[in-house]
Amino acid sequence: MDIQTEVLIVGGGATGVGIARDLSLRGIPSILIEKGDLTSGASGRNHGLLHSGGRYAVSDPEAARECISENRILKRIASHCIEETDGLFISLPEDSVHFRDRFLRACEETGIPTTLLSQEEALALEPELNPDLLSVVKVPDGAINPFELVLENARDAEKHGAKCILHTEVTSFLVDRDKIKGALAKDLINGEEYLIHAPYLVNATGAWANQFLKLAYLHIDLALSKGTMLITNQRLNHRVINRCRPSSDGDIIVPNDTVSILGTTSVRSEEVENFEVTPSEVSLLIKETAKMVPAIQGTRLIRAYAGIRPLFQSEEKGEDREISRGFTLIDHEKRDGLQNLITITGGKLVTYRLMAEKTSDLICQKMGIDVPCSTHLKPLPGVNESPKLKDRLKKIGHPVSAEGGEILCDCELIRREEVEELLKEEKLKDLQDILHRTRLAKGTCQGGFCIYRLLGVLHDLKMMEKDSNKILKGFFEERWKGIRPVLWGTSLKEEELIESIYKGIFDL
């Protein structure tokens, strides 16, 4: 089976699906290939911050300008994935007031609106803030649901003729002199292999960029930086809270739905899949973020996780935080003489659309066609369908029907019917695919109960046979990576419960 398309996009993160959508709206067909599920990389492993650009205003004005402009666009086209919380940059007594003034000037220069708040005003807005703070600058930060954002882009792209192929890896290229004629793809679930012919290829693999480029014997200077984040059991803040000082560890708290996300660290990593979080990183993040919100000390953490940022270096610099968080678009024709390959990497979640626009522009230029981008104008399909408060309240008060109404996940109140609907609608290949598309396993117990139930439902629907205990064990190993670093207090109690069930009662 050979497949023909116009553009082959590799990588199912925000950038990849953004390009697929952008091209599809310009009428250019594409196929997107992802070796895991959508959002498996940094797009699903970040703190869900809709940057105002404030964080980069002083250090990287260009990135800051991109952020504020995209921030405004996303609030229009993806309002259902965004909570417009605003963000606060707080100065504590040990922080320099000079930096705050520089920050205010830099925001003004980069077009980021600011409001300076007094201590009283700030505490009235956010009662959990450290009462010793000196002053607060308000900026238009927000919270974004990256999973929904990526899925929505993919849905819209497919509606307009693109195709996403998941759990499939590009294993080699057919190269003819200065051109890639085709890519050999392998389905990682059933082992099937086939050729994809495409006149243009886009490498949107993020941190995996060099692994992919290796297939074409190419290499770019990419620094991998591991960022660690913690999730609290409850939401502690209404607005994004940043420390008003040069970027460092533990300087941000992002509210997200019912939780807060504490971030982050920046540690150079050699490995692209190094997601381990150590207890000392956890302690550091708690200590630092508790300076801004003291209640963090003593708040239950439900999970730790890490993501790998791909940072493009045009020249050697020591400190990762000084490398631009702006993105890089590489035309390998110009750089390496390989006509039809483009790499897009670096950047931020909030600039994914701009990255997709620039990449698509370059493809159009190479094709010699002139179709303008429209993704900044056309809202994502779900914008008008998002559940209103009324519907959400109805769901909470929903009378439980005997069959199908049972709550599979007691933490996030997910009914069996909802899960069954999803299973019918989308072709899902593994457990993580389901988890990326629901709130299952995202609550306090982190799937301690609902995953067993989910597998039970899959058996009921005849979608699963014997392997379920292997899958169940695999899930608990994966879950372990996130909770092992935060096990003390109540979390440790719950862990004893989970272990007693699965190793004890079920003897897995």
Partner 1 sequence: MTKIMHYDLIIIGMGLSGLMAAKTAAEAGQKVIIIGKGMGSLCLFSNTIDVLGKLPLTMKMEPLREASGVDTKVRRGEHPVPEGQFTHGQVSGPLGTGMSDGLSQWMKDHPKHPYSKVGLDRIKEALSSFTSLFPPPYSFQTVGNGNCLIPTGAGTLRPTYFIPITMVAGTSLKKEDALIVGFKGFKDFYADYVADQMDCRGITLSLSEAFRQEITTTALARLMERESFRETIGRAIKEKIHGETRVGLPALLGVRESWKVKKELEEIIGSEVFEIPTLPPSIPGLRIFNRYKEWLIQRGVTFLLGCSVSRATLKGKKCEGVDVSTPPIFNSYSADRYILATGRFIGGGLVADEEKIFEPIFNLPVTQPKSREDWFRKSFFDDLSHPVHQAGILTDSSFRAIDEKGEVLLENVWVAGSILADHHSVDEKSREGIEIATGYMAAKQALGKIGA
Applying CB under 8 A, does 418 fall inside the site for partner 1? no
Applying CB under 8 A, does 500 fall inside the site for partner 1? yes
Burial of 372 (0-12, 13-18, 19+ CB in 10 A): exposed
**Where are the extended beta strands (E) located within 365-441?**
407-409, 414-415
How many residues make up the chain in this entry? 508
Give me the 272-301 binding string for partner 1, x by CB under 8 A, dash otherwise. ------xxx--x--x---------------
CB of 304 to partner 1, least distance (A): 13
d(CA 163, CA 169): 15
Applying CB under 8 A, does 466 fall inside the site for partner 1? yes
CA angle, residues 476, 38, 54, in degrees to nearest 5: 100
> What are the contacts of 461-468 at 24+ separation with CB within 8 A?
461/420, 461/423, 463/423
- For partner 1, give the closer residue by CB, 171 or 500: 500
CB of 499 to partner 1, least distance (A): 6
- For partner 1, give the closer residue by CB, 396 or 402: 402
CA distances from 477 to 448, 474, 482 (A): 12, 5, 9
Tokens matching residue 43:
């797009």
Applying CB under 8 A, does 468 fall inside the site for partner 1? yes
Tokens matching residue 340:
């039809």
CB of 104 to partner 1, least distance (A): 37
Tokens matching residue 80:
């259902």
- For partner 1, give the closer residue by CB, 338 or 414: 414
Applying CB under 8 A, does 93 fall inside the site for partner 1? no
Q: Which of 316, 319, 403, 425 binds partner 1 (CB under 8 A)?
A: 403
Q: Which of 176, 406, 421, 426 binds partner 1 (CB under 8 A)?
A: 406
**Where are the extended beta strands (E) located within 298-340?**
301-312, 327-331
Applying CB under 8 A, does 217 fall inside the site for partner 1? no
Applying CB under 8 A, does 473 fall inside the site for partner 1? yes
Region from 181-189, 197-205, 432-440, 494-502 binding partner 1, contact rule CB under 8 A: 494-502
Segment holding 14, helix H or strand E? helix 14-25
Region from 210-218, 303-311, 385-393, 459-467 binding partner 1, contact rule CB under 8 A: 459-467
- For partner 1, give the closer residue by CB, 252 or 458: 458
Nearest Cα residue to 151 out of 317, 278, 32: 32
CB of 484 to partner 1, least distance (A): 5
CA angle, residues 208, 348, 366, in degrees to nearest 5: 70
Region from 60-68, 78-86, 199-207, 491-499 binding partner 1, contact rule CB under 8 A: 491-499
Applying CB under 8 A, does 451 fall inside the site for partner 1? no
CB of 507 to partner 1, least distance (A): 4
- For partner 1, give the closer residue by CB, 174 or 492: 492
Contact 97, 111 (CB under 8 A): no
CB of 464 to partner 1, least distance (A): 7
Place of tokens 């002199």: 177
Region from 62-70, 75-83, 381-389, 479-487 binding partner 1, contact rule CB under 8 A: 479-487
Applying CB under 8 A, does 501 fall inside the site for partner 1? yes
CB of 453 to partner 1, least distance (A): 5
Q: What is the DSSP letter of 294?
A: G
- For partner 1, give the closer residue by CB, 106 or 472: 472
d(CA 467, CA 80): 37
Applying CB under 8 A, does 504 fall inside the site for partner 1? yes
Q: Please, where are the H alpha helices in 26-126?
A: 54-57, 61-77, 97-110, 119-125
Pairing assessment for the beta strands 115-117 and 135-139 based on DSSP bridges = antiparallel
Region from 129-137, 146-154, 199-207, 403-411 binding partner 1, contact rule CB under 8 A: 403-411
CB of 508 to partner 1, least distance (A): 6
Residues 6+ apart with CB under 8 A from 207: 41, 42, 222, 224, 272, 308, 309, 310
d(CA 308, CA 42): 6
Residues 6+ apart with CB under 8 A from 36: 12, 166, 167, 432
Region from 2-10, 110-118, 426-434, 500-508 binding partner 1, contact rule CB under 8 A: 500-508
- For partner 1, give the closer residue by CB, 318 or 399: 399
d(CA 362, CA 66): 18
CB of 224 to partner 1, least distance (A): 21
How big is the site for partner 1, counted in residues (CB under 8 A)?
A: 55
Applying CB under 8 A, does 396 fall inside the site for partner 1? no
CB of 434 to partner 1, least distance (A): 16
Tell me the Cα Rg of the chain.
Answer: 23
Residues 6+ apart with CB under 8 A from 355: 15, 18, 19, 327, 329, 344, 347
Q: Which residues would be at the binding site for partner 1 (CB under 8 A)?
A: 278-280, 283, 286, 399-408, 416, 449, 452-453, 455-457, 459-460, 462, 464-466, 468-469, 472-473, 476-477, 479-480, 484, 487-489, 492-493, 495-497, 499-508
